[in-house]
Amino acid sequence: MAVGIFGLPQAGKTTIFNAATRGAAGRSGRAGPNLGVVKVPDARLGVLAEMDHPKRIVHAEIEYLDVPAPAGGAEGPKGISAEYLNVLGGCEALLMVARAFSDPAVAHVTGSVDPYRDAASLELELILSDIGVLERREERVESQLRTAKTLDRDGLRKEIALLASIRESLEAEVPVRAQALPKEAAPFLRNFALLSAKPLMIVFNIDEDDVGRTAEIEAEMAERLGRPNAATAAVSGKLETELAEMSPEDEAEFRESLGAGEPGLDRTAVLCYGVLGLIAFLTTGPDETRAWAIRDGTTALEAAGKIHTDIQRGFIRAEVVAYDDLVRAGGLPEARKQATLRSEGKGYVMRDGDVVNFLFNV
């Protein structure tokens, strides 16, 4: 589940990536995109662990890819490099970083601090890249149509009409993720890896001094940038870097003294999870308490396969209790007594926070 980070040069992409992954870019020591793994915070794991005292707690994870911006050309600075277009195309979601910090010591590539302007131009870059992809495909299909057998013509004409309608909406600056598209569009969209179709997370890299105003900044972002399949957050890259270098105890204390509230990067990871359409089911026992990321809509049988193919193959049934019910009961035996522990079959659609024990036989 990779999230591709993009944005203008000097916006703080690598800074935020490093703070989130605790320095993965520094360790990789190579040019090109940096890859790092981030734990998705989940307070429920700690609560379950207090019941079971497991040997370890395992969080769900997301991968971040820090993709360098191009050096800049005649048309001015850009956020998406042709060189790494396929890298972003391969990601399941995109995370845009826009500069909102004012530090005069860091040159601003667009001349002044205006994250809303930069976010709009970056969104336009995604759209223009997609228009290019669609135009090239339309040309190809039109030339196929000229030589196609009568039988194949209908399908090709339908494809051209679909491509043209997506392109026209893009020309009106509606990203694919916000377009209402027919079901038939899904396989085409998967093939083309259109960037504006991907869930988008917009992060403003704010001044350290503005951290106390995070909620206010985020409210404005949500109002001005909030759209279907898009989420917004404000984070101070510089502050998060300093905090990432501290021990967890010092970090907690320092955050409290700043009134910094919940860590911005934790919030970002949780929001990424949300825009990706992911939920978590939980397993717990003496060995480990663990969160497993699944797409919303995943069945019990598919969820079992996440843990192990044997559990999927030998699936008998799933014992399921909602996290809240389990906590209220105080433990699995009590939940069983209160009959909040249910027995579910293969086709059960998993819900976020289901605590599950799969019964299987191989």
Give min distance, CB of 89 to ligand GDP, in A.
20
Whether the CA torsion 209, 215, 220, 222 is positive or negative: it is: positive
Q: Single out the residue of 1, 2, 10, 142 in contact with ligand GDP (rule: CB under 6 A).
A: 10
Q: Does 36 bind ligand GDP (CB under 6 A)?
A: no
Q: Does 14 bind Mg ion (CB under 5 A)?
A: yes
Give the SS3 label for residue 102.
Answer: coil
Q: Does 268 bind Mg ion (CB under 5 A)?
A: no
Rg for the chain, CA atoms, rounded: 23
Angstrom distances, CA of residue 8 to CA of 18, 80, 92, 160: 17, 8, 20, 34
Q: Are 330 and 337 in contact (CB under 8 A)?
A: no
Question: Please, which of residues 342-361 interact with ligand GDP by CB under 6 A?
Answer: none
Is residue 109 classed exposed, middle or buried when 0-12, 13-18 and 19+ CB atoms within 10 A define those classes? middle
Nearer to Mg ion, 12 or 263 (CB): 12
Give min distance, CB of 93 to ligand GDP, in A.
18
Q: Which entry of ligand GDP, Mg ion, none binds 214, CB below 5 to 8 A by partner kind?
A: none
Nearer to ligand GDP, 5 or 329 (CB): 5
Nearer to Mg ion, 18 or 298 (CB): 18
* Neighbour tally for 215: CB within 10 Å: 9
Q: Which entry of ligand GDP, Mg ion, none binds 4, CB below 5 to 8 A by partner kind?
A: none
Q: Does 205 bind ligand GDP (CB under 6 A)?
A: yes
Q: Are 108 and 99 in contact (CB under 8 A)?
A: yes
Q: Single out the residue of 3, 4, 6, 15 in contact with ligand GDP (rule: CB under 6 A).
A: 15
Q: Does 108 bind ligand GDP (CB under 6 A)?
A: no
Q: Does 15 bind Mg ion (CB under 5 A)?
A: no
Nearer to Mg ion, 68 or 353 (CB): 68
Q: Single out the residue of 3, 11, 280, 329 in contact with ligand GDP (rule: CB under 6 A).
A: 11
Q: Does 161 bind ligand GDP (CB under 6 A)?
A: no
DSSP letters for 88-148: HHT-SEEEEEEEE---TTS--TTSS--HHHHHHHHHHHHHHHHHHHHHHHHHHHHHHHHH-
Q: Single out the residue of 3, 4, 9, 323 in contact with ligand GDP (rule: CB under 6 A).
A: 9
Spatial distance between the Cα atoms of 138 and 163, rounded to a whole number of angstroms: 7
The single residue listed with the structure tokens 């809240």 is 324
Spatial distance between the Cα atoms of 254 and 242, rounded to a whole number of angstroms: 10
Give min distance, CB of 81 to Mg ion, in A.
11
Q: Single out the residue of 61, 103, 152, 184 in contact with ligand GDP (rule: CB under 6 A).
A: 103
Query: Which distant-in-sequence residues (6+ apart) come within 8 Å of 164 by Cβ?
Result: 138
Spatial distance between the Cα atoms of 321 and 328, rounded to a whole number of angstroms: 11
Q: Which entry of ligand GDP, Mg ion, none binds 283, CB below 5 to 8 A by partner kind?
A: none
Q: Which entry of Mg ion, ligand GDP, none binds 236, CB below 5 to 8 A by partner kind?
A: ligand GDP
Residue 349: beta bridge partners?
A: 299
Q: Does 232 bind ligand GDP (CB under 6 A)?
A: no
Residues lying near ligand GDP in the complex (CB under 6 A): 7, 9-15, 101, 103, 106, 205, 236-238
